[in-house]
Every structure is written in structure tokens, then in C-alpha cells.
Structure 1
């Protein structure tokens, strides 16, 4: 690497005319010889940044005292060479680029002079005036890297932008890069021929080829919804006289559940969870047995999640590969959970406090998540999606809720993109709600239809609104309120059960 020595005197421009004079580049450190001078925490930070972005970098580290954390890097990065000694100018021989991380200002300036005499670029930690280049905040998504610089004015803003881009850019973006790379390699001929081939391929993007499921998902959702409502309504009208009476003389309970369904669906749309746990807590407080409460919740979720799932599908928020792995185990678990809970309906005085304890725990978890400001992000995605889906579906049906709290939280904690996880969980929940509610209906028949109809209409009205405002509401504030309300209502049910025993 040949780099001309920097001139002794630089032309100085007025600060208002200079602006950000940095020229962004990406350096192949795996093809250069890198020297790091320093062995303390700052040197560790520099070394970590280098190796995180260039694992195959050829690095020599020189320092008179080296902390153990730096020595441990040797086990993971065999190309790293460590020399525990004082710096000498000869250390710059056969070196291409230099990073300095010492707290000795005189030594830093000496190293800078030595480096410039050899035509080497140098970076000195926390000393912008001694630097030839800066290390920016880096966003990495597979082969995609985005470097951010504020010209040394505000490292905090650079870190905030890094966090924002890391959260916003989907993990699937790397797959797009790999596909474009494969397409590029397949193009042949001169420039004109390559343009024609590329135009022919990209024509498909205007009307891309979709799977049968993606093409017909809208009609499938509405067909299931209308068929479900038609079959249930026709059956109840002919077999349940109470249902006809209910339609004529509307019970006030309907209006309570209408407002509850709308409110809880809006909360669910804002934070991606808690519809089940809030609704089951409210239902138990209103006197519904656990199985009937879960049936009412899941019947209402057929329409609300069908609409929400369709909205997320239209916005491109569904990961179809994840959906295919998740759906069958989840539906199986939901059917089993609904069957078991329905079988215990005659023992509702005993199952009700059990469900209340479950919602109390979930309320506490939601509250803790609201105050967990710093969350560790996993480096590997969850691999046992089927097990997670089965467990989430079973708990959701057997205890009236928990699908979002269990599955969505686990997917996001496992490193999956929040928006794609939310859309996939929503559309999966539509099928789970449909089959579990059919199981409940088969086992229990028509009960508490005031509550069911109120939840159906209220949640359906809120679903299209909630899907669009899911990223515009303070999730923390809502989670705190939900956690407190759910825990309060659950404690009330548990205390009432204990008082009856006494």
C-alpha cells in the first residue's frame, strides 16, 4: 500500500466553508497490515470494532501492559499477533495502517510524526486533531454495511442513527443482496445486452409471481369468515331460542363487551400482544367461566385477526417461510388446548382461579417488559419454531390468551425483525382462532352470546385501525397500563375465590 506523506502545512479554510471534508471509503483490512498501539480498555474497543467488521484482518498489537480481555482475542482470531513491549518507531516497519489507543498524549504525537514520515494513515483514539481518518458507527446486515459519521461533532447521534437503521432494516435484506449478486453473475454480453436482460427480469417485479397462498389469501380469509359466521348464525338461530331472544332484546352485557373488544384490539394492535390476557381478565371479572371466556375471545379473533392479518399482508409484513413452519404445530396445540379446557367447563369454579393466576403472571411479565429499557439482542434466531408454535397455540386456547405474549416476544428476542414477526403472528392467529373457536363451539354450544357478539363487532372495528397505528403509539405507556389493569383484575378474582373458601 503506497500512500504519499501528508504535507507539513495544510491550506486552512474558514470553518463555515469547510463543512464535512471526510471522504467515505471501505478498506480491505484483510489485505493490509494493521498495527494497534495500546493495551487498555480503549484499545480493546478499537480491536473489537476492527475484528467485528473484518475477522480476517492481519493485526499486530503492541503495548507495554495488556489487559486479559485483549489476550483472550488470540484464541478466536489466530491472525492477531500480540507483542507485550514498549512502542518503538521500528514497529511501523512493514505496516499499512495504524490505530493508536494510549493515554499518553506525548507518545501519541510521537507516533503520529513517525507514521507520517512513512506515509501511513493513523487514527488516534479521542484525539480528532491527530487523526487522518475516523471510525464511524457501522450498521451490518450480512454483506450490507452502512457507515455513519458526524465529522466528530456528536458520536451520540451516530450511535442513535446506527440503532435506528439496525432496527428498521430487515434481516431478509441480505437475501435480496445475494439474489441480486446471482442475477448479476448470470448476465452476459456487452453493456447493451446486459441492460436488455435486466429489463426482461425486472418486468416480473411489476406483477411478481406469487404462490397460491399469497395470491388467494384475501379470498381465503373472507371465505372462512363468512362461512364461519353463516354456519354458526344459522345453527344458533335454529337450535338456540335464547339467541333469537337476544337479538330482539339486546342485553347490556353486549355493550360492555363491545367497548372492551374495541379497546383491547387497539391495545393489541399497538404492542402486538395482550388481547387475550386483557379480554380473559375482563371476562372473568364479568362472571364468564374460563372455557366460555376463551370461546368468546377466539370467536371474536376470527374476524379481527382476519382483518388485521389482511392489512399486514397488504403492507408486506408477512414472512411466508416463517408462517409455513409455525402454522401447523400452532393449530394443533390450539385444538388440544380448547378441547381440554372445554372438558373442564363443569369445574369452572376451580379452573377460574388457575386462569386468574396465569393472567396475573402474564400481567407481571408485560409490566417488566415495559420497564426493560436495555434488552440484549440474541445473535442467533430461534430454530425450534414448531415447538414454539405448538406451545403458544396450546396456552392461548387453554388459558384464553398468550399467543402474542409468548410467540411474538420469543421471535423478536430471537433476533427476528419486529414488523415481519408481528405480521406473521397476526395472520397465523387468524387460523388458530378459527379452529380453536370451532372446537369450543362443538364442545360447549351457544353460551354468553352477548359477550361473543360484543367482542366480535368491537374488535373487528378496531382491527384495521390498529394495524395502521401500530408504530405510532407509545408501547411502553400502554404496556404499563395493561400490566397494572390485568394484575389488579386477576388479584380480584383470586381474592374472591379465597374468600368463598373461607
Structure 2
């Protein structure tokens, strides 16, 4: 279990700020909590599997609060939710198991390169075109891939699933709310898998700060997702996705 006597509030402040910023972006744009938080933890020397375990332990609570907030603001498409959550959970279990057994460093630059390309496309589309709503056709395979890469890479569920659904023409507000809510069930499953393979020691005290900041930001992020129009929202998603992906590629190389 976590030893709460081993750290002070001053030690938590940086992680509270990271958690708040990451969840504000995630709740408003449907992505980036795992990417931002995992990148910061790995940059201070935390092993990738441990960083992913800590982030997903925090996301159990932040995605729960975020999901409730999105439901209150009616940001959900329940049919889409049903189609992505089960494949996402299956992919998450597989990804968590793979990460604890095999390093994911080789695949990560490739995935990040793909996400950077999607981010640039969304940015271009948001600037030059009005968003035309269409029913997305590729959903279940997207959930499976998103869940797997989220667990194996320490983040990426929102970046992969949200961005691809937007490319297919789905409503940005509904996509963000639905993907955020489905992420709760994904993170519960991934966290349980990590705890079963790594033990409670992998959670660590730093997760407390991420948890406090994330929970504080979750309701505000859902509110912003409801208020921001589709095209500016798509532009912001493109900027965040491109920036985080390019930074991740730079670190990986």
C-alpha cells in the first residue's frame, strides 16, 4: 500500500499541477491525460510500466468524475459508447500484459508519428473546412487498438479513438464525452491488470498529487467541451495531439 508518511504536501504540488493541467486538456478535448502525465513521470526516471500503472490508477478516479460530468452535460452518444467500451477493455488487458513482459520502446515512435500526422490533419481540417457530421464506420477495431496502445504506451486512448472518430466525421462534443466516459471502464481494467502483475508498490505516492489535480479539473473540462464550437475544438485537438506526439518522438529518439 501507499506510505503516506513518506511525503509532504510540498512534494505533491508539482504533481497536483500536472494532474490539473492534464485532466483539463483531457476533459475538454478527449485526450492527453495519460500522454502528458506518463511523459512527465518517465522524464523524472520512472520506468514505463510503473509510470503507466500509476497514471491508470489515477485515471480510475479522474475518468469516473469526468464521465459523470459529461453525462450531466449530455455530451454522450450511448450507441457509440456501447460499441467502443468492450473492445477497448479487451485491448487494454492485452496491452497491460504486453508492457509488463516486453518493452514498448520500439513501437512507441511509430505510434507517435501516426498520431502527429492525425493531429496535423485535424488542424488543417479545422482551419480550412467546416465540420460535416457523418456516422463513423470503423469503431470496434478502433476501440481495440486504442485500449491496447493506451496500456502499452502509458496513454493514447483518447488520442487514437477521439482523433479517428473526428476524422470520420463524428460530432466533436459527443465524441469527447463518449470517449472520456468509456475510458473509466478501460482504466479500471488496466489498473487491475497492472496491480495483479506489478503489485501495490507500483502505484507510489506521486499518484496522490496527480489524483487531486485531476479530480479538481474534471468537471471544468466537461463544461468546456460542451461550450466550445466544433471547428475551434477540432483545431485545439489537432494542436495538442501534434505537440504531445512530436515531443514524445523527440524523447524516444
Runs of 5+ unmatched residues, structure 2 = none
Select 2:47's aligned residue among 286, 289, 310. Answer: 289
The whole-number CA distance in structure 1 between the counterparts of 2:170 and 2:244 is 29
Per the alignment, do residues 427 and 248 of structure 1 end up closer, same or farther by CA in structure 2, a change over 3 Å counting?
same
Greater strand proportion: 1
State whether structure 2 residue 181 is matched by structure 1 residue 422: no
State whether structure 2 residue 234 is matched by structure 1 residue 483: no
Q: How does 1:450-489 map to 2 (within 5 A)?
A: 450-470=205-225, 471-472=227-228, 475=233, 476=235, 479-480=238-239, 483-484=242-243, 486-488=245-247
Aligned partners of 2:29 and 2:176 also within 8 Å:
no
Greater helix proportion: 2
**Length, aligned pairs only:** 247
Deviation readout 1:287-324 (Å, 9 max, x if unpaired): 11111111122111111111111111112222222222
Q: Once the 2 structures are TM-superposed, how far is the Cα of residue 444 of structure 1 from its aligned partner?
A: 0.9
Aligned partners of 2:76 and 2:177 also within 8 Å:
yes
TM-score when normalising by structure 2:
0.84
Deviation readout 1:208-265 (Å, 9 max, x if unpaired): xxxxxxxxxxxxxxxxxxxxxxxxxxxx1xxxxxx32x43433866332221111111
Aligned partners of 1:396 and 1:403 also within 8 Å:
yes
TM-score when normalising by structure 1:
0.45
- More RCO (CA 8 Å, sep 6+): 2
Select 2:82's aligned residue among 314, 324, 328. Answer: 324
Aligned to 1:254: 12
State whether structure 2 residue 119 is matched by structure 1 residue 366: yes
Per the alignment, do residues 332 and 318 of structure 1 end up closer, same or farther by CA in structure 2, a change over 3 Å counting?
same
Aligned to 1:271: 29
Per the alignment, do residues 356 and 456 of structure 1 end up closer, same or farther by CA in structure 2, a change over 3 Å counting?
farther
Q: Once the 2 structures are TM-superposed, how far is the Cα of residue 353 of structure 1 from its aligned partner?
A: 6.2
Q: Once the 2 structures are TM-superposed, how far is the Cα of residue 335 of structure 1 from its aligned partner?
A: 0.8
Secondary structure at the counterpart of residue 449 of structure 1: coil
Please tell me whether Structure 1 or Structure 2 has the larger radius of gyration of its CA atoms.
1
Deviation readout 1:135-192 (Å, 9 max, x if unpaired): xxxxxxxxxxxxxxxxxxxxxxxxxxxxxxxxxxxxxxxxxxxxxxxxxxxxxxxxxx
Per the alignment, do residues 356 and 287 of structure 1 end up closer, same or farther by CA in structure 2, a change over 3 Å counting?
farther
The whole-number CA distance in structure 2 between the counterparts of 1:407 and 1:482 is 12
Per the alignment, do residues 355 and 282 of structure 1 end up closer, same or farther by CA in structure 2, a change over 3 Å counting?
farther
Per the alignment, do residues 368 and 281 of structure 1 end up closer, same or farther by CA in structure 2, a change over 3 Å counting?
farther
Q: CA RMSD in A?
A: 2.8
The whole-number CA distance in structure 1 between the counterparts of 2:77 and 2:170 is 10
